[in-house]
């Protein structure tokens, strides 16, 4: 199939200014990108008049949790039977795709094979969804984030508790055997996990080293949940590839991140925090005030750190822990607005985080994240200019089409999914 997209304002994802141009699609790839005044050999191609529209790369969710199915609490994920959970994860993939995200780097699955099964179903064309890097569940320690158990009650959550390097290595190898692309380690704790505070690095050096070694030995990557400054340093020391949050990174940690900026990726995953803070407005209960007092300093720390990361040129991906009741799947484009509003990114910088940097975190920067000859034709044609108002990307009805691998999809009226154009 050959398609000439003619007359759009083309934003290529590099940060350069958009230009009136034309893009030729041949099969699954971009065959040519040219200014409007240049001739493009398009014999036999269907012509699409895109005048007045904005053409950009498809977005990349850099912190996806497709198996977090808009749950009110983590242990609900453990209660879901695997058959039901797989179907709901497939539905979340379709919602993300319908929101303009043509790729997703998973930051953890709630069960070992959920990401793997959905990734494979998408690749085989069984379901429509984004290109997906599949992750393991969150490997945590006893009492750490994701350990939902109690002495009197075994409750599975989104984490698997492993203690000591041998247990970490064994579980990582099991996940790798089952086909994951990424091992996720919860090095620090979290607000709401009293036995593992967000400012504490709970996973030891030996445990982190074992998980990363298992992943790298198999040719895969490791990601980590790191809010505490010491957890960021621990992740860097042992070669973690994607470091999420970094809220309390001190000057030393920021210097280390900057020194490793050509190797690592970071992602604040701020969306859930902002959604929860918004829900606390006007909540004058004792519990509401307590949570506001706990969350506000962390939010402020995240903003300070990511202003600094932007200045230092550290690669930051969008993606904000979508998949909880306060932060439902399919609303992921809100993160671009958060980068502009809270981190000091320009609209162009935020869009680059969602496209070019996203292609790089997918380990496919040579063919994803840019409108460029030879790249995969993963594109959005938008009615509106996100460089003037990034919020237009939150309105699915603004998408004239979502393209993945040269195939066009359009949003379904009144539904969060898409339908393929034949």
- The closest alpha carbon to 323, from 89, 146, 155, belongs to 89
What's the predicted TM-score (pTM) here?
A: 0.96
**Residue 373: what are its φ and ψ, rounded to 5°?**
-55, 135
Q: CA-based angle 325:383:405, to the nearest 5? A: 75
CB 222 within 8 A of CB 210: no
Q: Spell out where 118-208 has E strands.
A: 131-133, 135-140, 159-161, 182-186
- The closest alpha carbon to 330, from 338, 342, 320, 316, belongs to 320
Count of helix runs (H) and strand runs (E) in the chain: 12, 18
Predicted pLDDT of residue 257: 98
Q: Spell out where 50-110 has E strands.
A: 54-57, 59-64, 101-106
Predicted pLDDT of residue 282: 82
Reading the block at residue 245, the tokens are 């949050």
Question: Can you tell me the distance from the alpha carbon of 392 to that of 61, in angstroms, rounded to the nearest whole number?
Answer: 17
Q: Spell out where 195-341 has E strands.
A: 221-226, 242-245, 265-267
Predicted pLDDT of residue 422: 63
Predicted pLDDT of residue 7: 96
- The closest alpha carbon to 179, from 230, 127, 227, 133, belongs to 133
Predicted pLDDT of residue 315: 98
Three-state SS at 215 = helix
Three-state SS at 57 = strand
Question: Can you tell me the distance from the alpha carbon of 129 to that of 122, in angstroms, rounded to the nearest whole number?
Answer: 6
Q: State which H helix or E strand residue 139 sits in.
A: strand 135-140
From first to last of its 422 residues, what are the pLDDT tens digits of the chain?
899 999 999 999 999 999 999 999 999 999 999 999 998 888 999 999 999 999 999 999 999 999 999 988 888 898 999 999 999 999 999 999 999 999 999 999 999 999 999 999 999 999 999 999 999 999 999 999 998 888 998 888 889 999 999 999 999 999 999 999 999 999 999 998 889 999 999 999 999 999 999 999 999 999 999 999 999 999 999 999 999 999 999 999 999 999 999 999 999 999 999 999 999 988 889 999 999 999 999 999 999 999 999 999 999 999 989 999 999 999 999 999 999 999 999 999 999 999 999 999 999 999 999 999 999 999 999 999 999 999 999 999 999 999 999 999 998 877 778 888 86
Q: Spell out a b/e string for 353-391, using b for 16 or more CB atoms within 10 Å of the CB, else e.
A: bbbbbbbbbbebeebbbbbbeebbbbbbbbebebbeebe
Furthest-apart CA atoms within the chain: distance in Å = 73
């Amino acid at each position: 199939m050959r398609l000439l997209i003619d007359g759009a304002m083309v934003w290529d994802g590099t940060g350069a200014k958009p230009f009136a141009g034309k893009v030729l699609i041949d099969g699954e790839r971009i065959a040519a990108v040219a200014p409007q005044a240049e001739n493009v050999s398009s014999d036999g191609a269907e012509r699409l008049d895109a005048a007045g529209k904005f053409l950009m790369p498809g977005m990349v969710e850099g912190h996806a949790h497709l198996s977090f199915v808009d749950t009110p609490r983590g242990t609900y994920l453990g209660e879901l039977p695997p058959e039901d959970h797989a179907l709901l994860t497939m539905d979340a993939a379709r919602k993300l795709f319908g929101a303009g995200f043509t790729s997703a780097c998973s930051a953890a699955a709630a069960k070992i094979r959920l990401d793997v099964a959905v990734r494979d179903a998408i690749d085989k064309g069984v379901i429509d969804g984004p290109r997906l890097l599949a992750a393991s569940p969150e490997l945590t320690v006893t009492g750490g984030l994701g350990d939902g158990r109690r002495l009197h009650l075994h409750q599975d959550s989104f984490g698997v508790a492993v203690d000591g390097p041998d247990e970490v290595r064994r579980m990582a190898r099991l996940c790798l055997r089952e086909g994951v692309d990424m091992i996720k380690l919860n090095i620090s704790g979290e607000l709401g996990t009293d036995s593992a505070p967000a400012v504490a690095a709970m996973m030891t050096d030996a445990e982190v080293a074992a998980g990363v070694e298992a992943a790298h030995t198999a040719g895969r990557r490791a990601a980590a949940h790191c809010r505490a400054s010491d957890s960021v340093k621990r992740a860097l020391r042992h070669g973690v590839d994607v470091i999420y949050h970094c809220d309390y990174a001190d000057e030393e940690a920021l210097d280390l991140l900057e020194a490793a900026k050509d190797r690592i990726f970071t992602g604040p995953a701020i969306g859930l925090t902002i959604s929860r803070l918004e829900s606390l407005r006007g909540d004058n209960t004792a519990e509401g005030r307590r949570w506001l007092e706990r969350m506000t300093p962390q939010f402020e720390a995240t903003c300070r750190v990511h202003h600094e990361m932007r200045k230092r040129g550290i690669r930051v991906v969008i993606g904000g822990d979508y998949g909880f009741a306060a932060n439902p799947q399919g609303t992921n484009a809100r993160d671009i607005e958060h980068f502009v509003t809270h981190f000091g990114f320009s609209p162009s910088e935020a869009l680059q985080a969602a496209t070019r940097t996203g292609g790089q975190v997918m380990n496919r920067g040579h063919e994803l994240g840019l409108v460029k000859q030879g790249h995969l034709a993963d594109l959005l044609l938008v009615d509106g200019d996100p460089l003037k108002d990034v919020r237009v990307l939150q309105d699915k009805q603004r998408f004239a089409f979502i393209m993945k691998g040269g195939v066009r999809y359009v949003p379904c009226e009144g539904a969060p999914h898409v339908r393929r154009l034949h």
